Amino acid sequence: MRILIIEDDDALARGLVAALKQSGYAVDHQSDGSIAVELALSEPYSLVVVDLGLPGKSGLEVIKELRQQNCSVPVMILTARDGIDDRVKGLDLGADDYMPKPFDLGEFEARVRALVRRAHGSASPVLSCANLTLDRSAGFATLAGRPLDLRRRELAVLAGLMTRAGKLVTKERLIDETFGFDEPVAPNAIELYIGRLRKKLEPDGPEIKTVRGLGYLLVER
């Protein structure tokens, strides 16, 4: 799952990016509102987090433009405590939630998880396919009741497959949801993670099938 942070406070942005990456998300950061709109319209984000007090194009203008372009990605507002009118305007323009600054990181992460689940059409943080379960809130997967030892990006790839279990997921989509735009991606990175996941799901877990030239499919054995 990929998240865009639009925030001009570099220290705050670094902290949010680090926390979300630790939770298994691919995260991009942009401080320029105009560039951020272009990114949000061109990349498959599961959530956009936008500060209202941006220089140049404001956060409100960013939200308005995204919705005018029929971009339905969930949007969370970050704003100062006394900016009640701006919060109301943001919600009226199409934002889905807001966090007043300063905020608790744990609550921020919980709200992020809820909005990302909403973006993927699931109210529950737990995904399942046959005897495989993945708790996206805890970043923890089990197979037939036993815990799976998965690294952060393995979890991200698995979440991408489980969210669309039984449906084709392209390699490009998995790359977009696993890596930020400033992160280097080896040519065979997804194949490497798919290979590791297959070994960890054997012999009784769901099967990851390769559809040559198109992508991957997670199905029950």
Which of 90, 97, 100 is CA-nearest to residue 65? 90
> Please, are residues 21 and 66 in contact by the beta-carbon 8 Å criterion?
no
Q: What is the pLDDT of residue 194?
A: 96
Q: Report whether 98 contacts 119 (CB < 8 A).
A: no
What CA–CA distances, in Å, run from 89 to 8, 52, 148? 20, 10, 44
Is this structure's pTM higher than 0.75? no
pLDDT on residue 82: 67
Domain locations along the chain = 2-119, 126-219
As its CATH architecture, domain 126-219 has Orthogonal Bundle (1.10)
What is the predicted pLDDT for the residue at 123? 57
Dist. CA 30–CA 41, nearest whole Å? 14
CATH class given for the domain over 2-119: alpha beta
Q: Do domains 2-119 and 126-219 have the same CATH topology?
A: no
- Supply the pLDDT for residue 131: 94
Residues of the chain with pLDDT under 50: none
pLDDT at 65: 94
Quote the mean pLDDT of the chain.
Answer: 89
- Angle at alpha carbon of residue 151, lines to 22 and 212, rounded to 5°: 120
